[in-house]
């Protein structure tokens, strides 16, 4: 089995330098914390590029494959540039994501717009900026998109998003392909949607089908099952309507390693299974080879990211837990609270010979009892001022961050070859109130 980057707990460039401090991308993490402050998101460029290349190599045997980055995992201009350089397109889910990739200079024909409740303004922007595909989610959107396209005298290239009826063993909040889902057309609704497109919605041109099973998936059989369903549907629609669809979008969802207990599949194993199933299904159902799109998000960016925190107060509950608080928490990483997500961590300024000597609970600084980053972890004794590095925070941490308790969002730096660059500035207190307005009548 060939190992892939998503199977690593830490960024590829993680190591201990001559001072005994952890480093990533050749940058001392203590020095990064001192220079940029904490909490601090750190991204390793080498790890991002490595996993992109894993995907391209893993699926190279299929003649028509296009990689699309699921931007919702982390939509930042600098990251967009890296993914664009690596030949990835972009799966976007909002006007903000569309605008971000547009301003980063991406060829918009390589962008797909996805989502279950796209607004009039968002769809209009997508058409204005020339988004390559819109994945239509429901009957309401079909009518709305056709109306907008007609008003602009344009023909819109679309996919139909379907729910393939496949359940994956992941958290219920991140399952999307099962039958009882808010996303996509049920298999029994596809014919009605196709008839509307062919007979009424003349400004829509359908190219294929789109499905997404879920996120943080560890099961390798899921993807061949999905391919079978999509190829079979394409063959059935051709037979019934004479409709020659030539694209299938498999979504993303491959898992990553958050703790030593996680065992995500290799991208290469998934690639081999998927490509084998594609060849088999195309022959079985007698269709031409479709262009296949894949939309990894978490597995592209998660392993590359860590978050640095400064240790503050601690509290030993008599006959209970020891809580150690850091200067961040649920606002910069809401995943433990939302999904019961588990993380691994190390002291950055560890010294030679340090060994885990106590079990602690890593607590956040927010006014919520549930603000717990790591419920239980063995670490050397933590002292005020120590720097804690939490691994695998590249995906969905900054994307889901908030200003809860009126706390500023952290900065983000990109590291590579011993160089660090700010890619998101730390928010200021003025940023926090910059959009607030006091009506004149309240100042009298």
Residues with a known catalytic role: 367
Report the alpha-carbon distance of residue 273 to residue 58 in Å, rounded. 10
Strand 15-16 vs strand 22-24: parallel, antiparallel, or unpaired?
antiparallel
The H or E element that residue 297 is part of is none
Residue 323 CB coordination number (10 Å): 15
Report the alpha-carbon distance of residue 6 to residue 296 in Å, rounded. 11
Question: Residue 239 — φ and ψ, nearest 5°?
Answer: -65, -40
Which residue spans within 327-441 are E strands per DSSP?
Answer: 345-347, 358-363, 372-379, 387-391, 411-416, 419-424
Report the alpha-carbon distance of residue 328 to residue 345 in Å, rounded. 14
Q: Helix, strand, coil % (nearest 5) of the chain? A: 35, 25, 45
Alpha-carbon distances, residue 301 vs 51, 164, 393, 399 (angstroms):
8, 26, 9, 12
Exposed, middle or buried: residue 196 (CB in 10 Å: 0-12, 13-18, 19+)? middle
Alpha-carbon distances, residue 265 vs 220, 227, 396 (angstroms):
7, 18, 20
What residues contact residue 103 under an 8 Å CB cut-off, 6+ apart? 77
Report the alpha-carbon distance of residue 193 to residue 142 in Å, rounded. 8
Q: Which of 200, 190, 256 is nearest to 394 (CA)?
A: 256
Spell 228-239 as b/e; 16+ CB within 10 A means b. bbbbebbbebbe
Alpha-carbon distances, residue 387 vs 30, 222, 314 (angstroms):
7, 40, 14
Alpha-carbon distances, residue 293 vs 88, 176, 184, 187 (angstroms):
10, 17, 17, 20
Instruction: Report which DSSP code applies to 250.
Output: -
């Amino acid at each position: 089995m060939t190992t892939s980057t998503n199977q690593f707990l830490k960024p590829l460039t993680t190591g201990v330098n001559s001072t005994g401090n952890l480093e990533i991308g050749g940058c001392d993490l203590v020095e990064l914390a001192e220079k940029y402050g904490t909490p601090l998101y750190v991204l390793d460029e080498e790890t991002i590029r490595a996993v992109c290349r894993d995907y391209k190599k893993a699926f190279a045997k299929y003649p028509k494959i296009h990689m699309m980055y699921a931007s919702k995992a982390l939509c930042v201009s600098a990251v967009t540039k890296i993914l664009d350089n690596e030949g990835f397109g972009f799966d976007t889910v909002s006007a903000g994501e569309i605008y971000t990739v547009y301003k980063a200079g991406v060829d918009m024909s390589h962008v797909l717009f996805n989502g279950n409740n796209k607004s009039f303004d968002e769809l209009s922007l997508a058409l204005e900026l020339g988004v390559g595909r819109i994945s239509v989610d429901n009957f309401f959107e079909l009518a709305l998109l056709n109306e907008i396209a007609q008003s602009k005298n344009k023909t819109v290239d679309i996919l139909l998003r379907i729910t393939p009826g496949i359940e994956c063993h992941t958290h219920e909040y991140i399952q999307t392909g099962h039958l009882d889902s808010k996303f996509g057309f049920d298999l029994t609704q596809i014919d009605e949607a196709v008839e509307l497109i062919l007979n009424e919605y003349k400004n829509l041109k359908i190219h294929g089908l789109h499905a997404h099973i879920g996120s943080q998936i560890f099961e390798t059989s899921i993807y061949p099952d999905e391919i079978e369903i999509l190829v079979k549907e394409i063959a059935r629609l051709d037979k019934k309507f004479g409709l020659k669809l030539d694209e299938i979008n498999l979504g993303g969802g491959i898992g990553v390693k958050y703790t030593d207990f996680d065992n995500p599949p290799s991208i290469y194993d998934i690639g081999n299974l998927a490509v084998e199933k594609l060849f088999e299904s195309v022959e079985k159902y007698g269709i031409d080879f479709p262009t296949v799109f894949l939309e990894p998000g978490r597995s592209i960016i998660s392993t590359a990211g860590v978050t640095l925190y400064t240790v503050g107060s601690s509290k030993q509950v008599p006959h209970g837990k020891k809580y150690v608080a850091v200067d961040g928490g649920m606002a910069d990483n809401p995943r433990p609270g939302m999904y019961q997500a588990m993380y691994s961590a190390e002291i950055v300024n560890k010294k030679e010979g340090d060994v885990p000597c106590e079990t602690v609970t890593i607590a956040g600084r927010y006014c919520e009892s549930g603000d717990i980053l790591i419920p239980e972890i063995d670490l050397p004794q933590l002292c005020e001022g120590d720097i804690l590095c939490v691994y695998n925070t590249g995906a969905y941490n900054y994307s889901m961050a908030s200003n809860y308790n009126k706390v500023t969002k952290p900065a983000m730096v990109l590291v590579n070859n011993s160089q660090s660059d700010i890619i998101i500035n730390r928010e200021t207190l003025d940023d926090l109130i910059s959009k607030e307005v006091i009506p004149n009548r309240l100042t009298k």
